[in-house]
Structure 1
Amino acid sequence: MHALVLDWQRNWAVTPAAVSVDELARAQAQAAAWQLATADDGRALAGMDRAAMARLGGALAAVPTRVAADFNVALAVGAEALAALLSSLVGAASVLVEQDQAPAEVFTDRYGWICMEISVGDVRFHLLLDPVTCNRLDPQRRIAAPLESRTAALAGTAVALTATLELGSVDISLVSSLRPGDILGTGIPLSAPDALGAAGSPPLLTGRLTAIGQAKAITAEHIH
């Protein structure tokens, strides 16, 4: 922005002065009136009323405004110069439209407006740029992340698994009369496959029940 404003000043000022561009807190973005430039949905606002634009024109033309005629000339120069600056920001020639206040979304972080204070010699004004304009001035450089296989992406992830052992069906009267130590026979052989999966999800694998030391385990035979 500093280079852009500096180049704009060289084209408009009879005697170039010091230029600065400073970040501005949203709460401090106040002005008596706002000059709006738009193009392709991009918006730029300068915090200037007619008097401020006349001061800008007088500073650029290096002409003091002593009488009304001087004011009108300075105002014309300031308005043209400001329109040229805002047009260069939004990327197309724009006619300035005066606003009583800045849009409400300017003051909310989520909408991504940038606020700054521009100083050209003794003239200072607030400048607001919407996200579209900011992206045009400084396009985001996105580098696509390389794709990973599912196995590699999940390799370092911990997951709680639930093993379900199918025992078949029995008469309800047998279940209701069970006592500690009773043995309930089923028609499912010990070699029958078991399903292993996260709770509430389809099975991840099927395998066979086995033992490792004092713990039960499942040997995976088929990955789903």
Structure 2
Amino acid sequence: MQSIKGKKALVTGGSRGLGKAIALALANEGVDVAITGRNKNTLEETVNEIEKLGVKATYSVFNVADKGEVKKEIETLINSFGAFDILINNAGIAAFGSFIEMDEDEWEEIVKTNLFGPYYVSKAVLPSMVDLGSGDIINVSSTAGLKGNAVTSAYSASKAGLIGMSESLMFELRKKNIRVSTLTPSTIASEMSKDVLKITDGDPDKVLQPEDFAELIVDMLKLNKRALLASASLWSTNP
């Protein structure tokens, strides 16, 4: 396996939960990390934790669903922090309710954040990866994108769309030595999943933890550059 020490990574939604676990796992491998989010205070706190691991860290406050903000802030990050070797499209939101009753604006916001967000961020980061002649993009989808369920229409639609976009991008970019992978985890214990666990009577201590998923991402990035794990599902053993 190759070392990823000294590389630069961008983790969207990196200030808490799954994104924070990913950022810290990368930092433990010697990766300089930039994180994004919408809360300046939590971003600053996480950057302080990352820096204690002996790597460089920074943050940017923006909404991934806002095309203008994404383009401006990613350009600023690249100019100040350097071109990114790794992009983890992790930022996402969820809300659950019946198709008929869910507010149309809420349905649209979920799709814009979970599908258009990774599109906007990838589009902003990719030119510099192409210039470098290498890179890794990991898109965090969900098992809900593999199979729809009652009350998950918006979330499942957004994550299914991300799977399709990500797979197409994988075929397009591997010829440029850029690896694109799609991960579809089952429920991970986090602030975002608490409603799902209530609905399913799930035990937060028995489902996947953010650190489990972060370990998988690190291992994928360490694969020899000739190897590409295009997609993978990670499930709780006995939730």
Please indicate the TM-score interval, normalised by the length of the shorter structure. under 0.3
The structure in which a higher percent of residues are strand is 1
The normalised TM-score by structure 2 is 0.22
Greater helix percent: which structure? 2
**Relative contact order: is structure 1 or structure 2 higher (C-alpha 8 Å, sep ≥ 6)?**
2
